[in-house]
Structures are given as C-alpha cells and as structure tokens.
Structure 1
Amino acid sequence: MKLDESKILYDRSREVFPGGVNSPVRAFGSVGGTPVFVKRASGSHIYDEDGNEYIDYVDSWGPCILGHGCEPVIRAVQEACADGLSFGAPTRKELTLGEMIKACLPSMEMMRMVSSGTEAVMSAIRAARGYTGRNKIIKFKGCYHGHSDGLLVKAGSGALTGSAPDSAGVPRSYTKHTLLADYNSRESVTRLFGQHPGKIAAVVVEPVAANMGLVPPQPGFLEFLREITTRNGAVLIFDEVITGFRMGLGGAQGYYHVTPDLTTLGKIVGGGMPMGVYGGRREIMEAVSPLGKVYQAGTLSGNPIATAAGIATLKILMDGPELYEELNAKADRLTAALAAALPKAQVNRAGSLFSVFFTEQPVTDYESALTSDTGLYGRYFHYLLENGIYTAPSQFEILFLSAAHTEEDMEKTCRVIEAAAREVK
C-alpha cells in the first residue's frame, strides 16, 4: 500500500498545524506511521489521497450511522444551503429537530442547542452548578467530556494523579472543584459524597465509557448513580455524545432504563455536521438565560445546516428502528470473530459499540484499560490498515458500525482479523 501523497501532505501540514493535524488522535501518535489523508467517502468506505480504499469503522467517531454520503441527508443539507448558511436567529428547523429529540429522549423536557459535544457538557455542568448553587462535580477516571478546562482531569488515556490537569495551560484552580471517582466503583462515589456533604452539584458520566476503549457499566452501577445523586440533591448528567442515538433511539438511558437529570448529545444529532445539545429537567433548564441567571450563547447554535442534517438523520432512524437490530447483528459477527481470533485479548461491547483490548485482564475501569499492550495494538492496527480496514488509530478509542456496512464488508473484515491475529501473535 502506497501512502506517498499522504506523506507529502503530512509534511506540509506539520508546518501549518500542531503535529500536522487538527485533532490529536489523527496524528497516529499512539500507533506510529503516517496519517491517512482522506479524500472522499461513500457508504461504508473511505478513499485516501493515494487512491487506497478502506472499509471504515471510525464513521467520523460516530455520526455516520447511516453511512457516508447518505443521499437524503446530503439533499437536505444542499437544500438548506441554498436558503443561507447562518442567520443568528430562530428557525423552524431547530424547533423541528428539538421536538424530534424530545420524542426520542423524554428526559430532555427542555434543551439548548450548541455547536459541539464539548460545549454541550461544559454548558450542562454550568447549568447544574447554577441550579444547585454548588461548585463541586464528580467525574470518572478515563471518561472524556470534551476539552473544557474543568474536565481535563484523567480524561481518556491521561495518566496524572489526583485532580491535576491533564493539559498544560489549565490552572489547578480550574480543576480544584473536580473530584475523581473510579468508573464502575460504587465505593469511590460514596466516599466522595461523604467527604463533601452538600457541596456536590453534579455527577457527570459516560453511561458507557467510550474514551478508554469501550467499558460498559457493570450491572446496577447506573442505577446506583441515579439513587445517590437523588439522595444528595445532586444533578446526574449522562454524557451521551457517543451513545446518543447509537444504542437506540433512546440512547444509553433507554437501553439501560436509567433516567438522568441532564443529557448531552453531539456528533450524530447533527447528522455529521458540527452540533451539540444539552437538556433535561425543565426546572434545571429554566436556570439558563434568558429565563435564568446561567449564561450561555452561540451565534451558530441551532444553525440551519446542522439542523437540516440532524432532522434528515433522525427521521430515517425513527422511521426504521429495525436498523438497530441490524447493527447489533453485525456487531455480533465482528465481536465473535475478534474473540475467536484473539482468545487472550478482551473484547468489550455495548449494543453495536465495541473495542478490543490487548490484555488478558478483564477491562472494567481506567486502571485495567491501561494494562493493554499498546505496541501490539499498533501492529494490529497497521496490519488491518494495509489490508483495507480503517479502525481507530488508538487502543483507547472504539469502533462504529453503520447501516451501509455490507455482507461483503463483514466477510472481508473477518478474514483480515483472522490473518492479523496470526501476524501480530
């Protein structure tokens, strides 16, 4: 496989962008080699600048659930563009999309549209603090909630101690109110509530952890979070930027039948366009300006292009809920192939989301995720890449399926997985 053009573009990009990329994982830093520069995509396949073709299991990190270039979504965007790109004023489209989201996620009684998942979580936490009059929040090691200052603590694969920021440029004072718990550990959460009585505004959690690899909640864990936050007057925030409309129309909260106070959405809700949403209980959201004193604004919030793409995407999902059964069947097949080919690795899955960890230890939290052999993962990744399979360029990311993945895609992927296991072993 030749990557001559990608190498040329990467060299030029390093003179323009930090690390040659506009988001760190794209630099292939944890797997080595030259990042693939994508030229176009169609259905389940992407095509790079050198003409190589790949079956795509990244799906732009989730939103392409219908596949790349889904015709109704593209048509909706084109029609919206003809009417204007941005107005900075209310539109019918944002109302339509909001009503569709509320129909799927009844817990979102009132919501606010923003432009990214990072912005959605940052704003939800501000709303929770404003509503409760408290400052402290609990987050979980290994859970990523965007790059806002107060949340860059043990985010994703960061490995610092205590509440020290994971990023330079974030003062400790910004994270002093961020308390760290262990994902899937009831004891760690109980201890923090005991140490800070009446001071915790919110618990923010990925209901399915998806930024240390895929780590599902253990039975009863989400129910426990619901109970302890209610008992202590804290707000429970589900960060469903990854799981929203991926695990079903009701997201992870519908999948596990646990209702949060606030929910954050991103990626998929804009049909692949930049967009995020946060919302939940009416009395909490009424604390947001202009009704309340929690300020948050954005010129591009609910813009007509992203809302058009979101409406088209959600309409297809709402009209065809059997799509989720098909995605789960595809996940059954691929995870079975992974488990058979890599018997000493761990294959974690929730719905159609999954990942493989190169460790013999069950992965249930941040610390166990870090036991993975990242060097072995890098060799596995490159074998798949060289054989036409594009997966996450990091041990600590997950894989996504789309409606566009075909039987032929499945067969080829299973064959390459089996060959990769023999090669990297």
Structure 2
Amino acid sequence: MSNAQAHLMRKSFVTHVDENRLMDCMRCGFCLPACPTYIHSDYDETQSPRGRIALMKAVRDGVVEWDGSIEEAFDLCLGCRACEPACPAGVQYGTLIEETREAVLSVKSQSLKEKAIRKGAFDHLFADQRKMKTAVKLVTFYQKSGLQKVVRKVGFLELFPPFMKEMEKSLPDPPKKRRKLALSIEKKTTVAFFAGCLMDTMFRETNRNTIELLNRLGCEVVIPKNQQCCGALQGHSGEMDRARRNAKANVEAFDLDGIDYIVNNAGGCGAFLFEYDRLFENDPALLPLAQQFVEKQIDISSLLVKLGIIDELLKQPTAEATEIVTYQDSCHLRNVNGVKDEPRELLKAVKGSLFVEMPGAHLCCGSAGVYNLLQPEMASRILGSKMEEVKKVQATTIITTNPGCLLQMKVGVEKEGLSGTTRAMHVVDFIYEKMIGKNGGK
C-alpha cells in the first residue's frame, strides 16, 4: 500500500472508528478464552479481540501501516461477540468490528466481481423479499424436479469447493402443503412476526410451525407487509448505510402501538433487530421509533416460555427417552440478547428425550452469517471441534435457534458421516414435532 493509501486508511479509521470505544479496553485478557479464532489459531494474539482492538487503535493513531496481515486479522473475526459477556469493562466489540469494516470498505478498492456481488446481494436479493423468494423457488425446483439427483449422479458437484458440496447436501427440504389450524384457546396476546429473509424462504416450514405454536398458545399473529431483511449481513460486512436502509424500512413497517411483541425465530436477526436504536443514535427523527421497536423485541424461545408452553409440554404423555438431545447456542442470541436458559428449559421439558449439555455449546460453530463461505478453512476447523463435542455426548438430535447455525450443524453431520444416526433441527420444529406431530397441520 502506498503512503497516500495508508494516509487515507488512517483517516478513514479516525472518521469511522470511535476512539472512546477503543479506550474502554483495559487489555485484561478476559476475552481470550472466549474467542474461537484465538483458540483455533494456536493462541495468536492478533486473532483475539484484545489484539484486534490494539490493531484498530494502532492504525487509527498511525503507529502501524495498514497491510495484508492486519486485514486478515479483521477478516478472520467471526463477529460472534462472545468476548462481550466476558469483558468486565463492557467493551462494545461488535460495534468496533463493524466500524472497522466500514472504515476499510470506504477506502479499499474493490474488484468488479466484488462490487457486483455486493450490489446483487445487498441492493437486490436481501433488499427485496420477492427476489429472495424467486431465488428459493429455483432451489426448490432443483430439489423437486429430479435435477438434484442428476447433478449428484454425474459428479458435477466435484467442480465446486468441498464446503459448497457439503452445503448442497444440507439444503432443507421444500415446504409442504398444509392447512391452517385455528386458535386453540381464546386470544390473549397480539404478536407481530418478523419473518426474516432466509427464514421466510428457505426455512418457511419453520416459520409456519412458529405461527401454529403461537396460535395454539393464544396468540394472534400478524405479519406486517413491506418488512425487509434485518440488515445484519450488510452491517457485519461494513455496509452500514445499506443496513440502515433496511432497518428504516422495518421500523416503519410495524404498527408498534397495536402489538404486544415483535417475535423472531432467528438468533442472528434478533440480535441485530435488538440494536436498531444504535443504528439511529444520530438520527433524532428515527431514534424514538427505533427505540420503541427495540422494546417490543423478543425471541421465539423466550416468548414460548413466557406464554406457558412448559406446562403444555409437561402435560404430554410420559414416554421412554429414545433420543439424546443437545443444544448449540446461537452466538448472537446468547451474547447480544442474553438468552441462554429458555431454549434449554424447553428441551428439558420435552417427554421422550434426554437433554444433555454439550461442552463448549456457547462457542461459535463457525457459520457466522457467510463466514463459512468466505473463510472456509477456519470455519471447517471450528466445526470439526464442535462435532467432536457432539460425539462426546452421543447426541441423536442437535438443536439450534438460527438458520446459519442449523445449516452449519447439518454440514457437520454430513462431514462426520452421522446422517444415519444424528439430525439437526431448529428448536421450533422440534417442539412442534413433539406437541403436534410430524404430520400436524397438513
């Protein structure tokens, strides 16, 4: 990098990366054992939150000159934010890494390919739910038409990187036709459902199960039109202006005065929705609306517990435990929203299964949005470690609360040759199966 470019990078860091947030870090090191990339890079300090913050400050202060090794340190960050609950000083690391990526993106020259990918993904696919649904329809056609079998048979997938082949094997089944169930009891709660982009397309069956469970517990569920992708993928990639665009559309799409809660069933989305007020802290016109939006947020496992589903599960007929169930935390659900007990309470209440805590369940599985596509080597290393923990507890069912985690664990099951004995499921689908049955609602 030339001196002129290095000067521009430093200036960009001064503009985008908040110095006060950097100074919150006391260099105590409590974050180190919580960081997956630090652990899986043979304890390389530059791959830790403390090390990355030191690099941010050094670039901002002009102490070090930007180069490829510094960029790699930031690129390898999962953004799981496990360092935040571990930090006694309350360092806002998630905000700092997003500010850093925005600073880099504003200066670094992008190839035509990267520009096209970003524009296609963030201005079209994840900015227009109709386009997302069209894309998923193509995937569904690929699965149902027989094309998938042909592609696998002729070995066409061998042309792709190993991780892409594993992801293809882990695609969720197309949604099935079903009839809508009526409210089981008198309506007592009005809930607005944040349907999400991936959840309302690739995981549409889970969304349907979510709505039916809420109906069964006495919720009237409304699904506001014009809601968009939450903006998490944009924000985590340094595209903060695009993230704010989606956030603005969402806070304006919901009738906040007419609902009790805004519920979501994707941990990564829920964490970003939970921090919408931070996106508009410098926008006095939108900030009050964003704050009201945030106050209504709740994730599906927390709402199910609040609505009394534990009692409903305990009323189910007693059955012999025939499966061992374990739980993989959604990083953002745990580290940002602070939700860790509710999913476990649900699983412990299910009859006919034995819940076993997985060692290291709080550590990231390596999915992290699109991290497993951009950093396949580190993602694979982390996933391999995670699957060893799955084997230790001899789990037959792995439960997650986020679509990316679910796909990642499905990939892990395939890689380890466990597909005949182990399955990965969203917590909603598991609870639905136990309460209503695999064929319920059809």
Structure scoring higher RCO (CA < 8 A, sep ≥ 6) equals 1
Structure with the largest fraction of strand: 1
TM-score after normalising by structure 2: 0.27
Q: Which has the higher helix share?
A: 2
**Structure 1 length as normaliser, TM-score?**
0.28
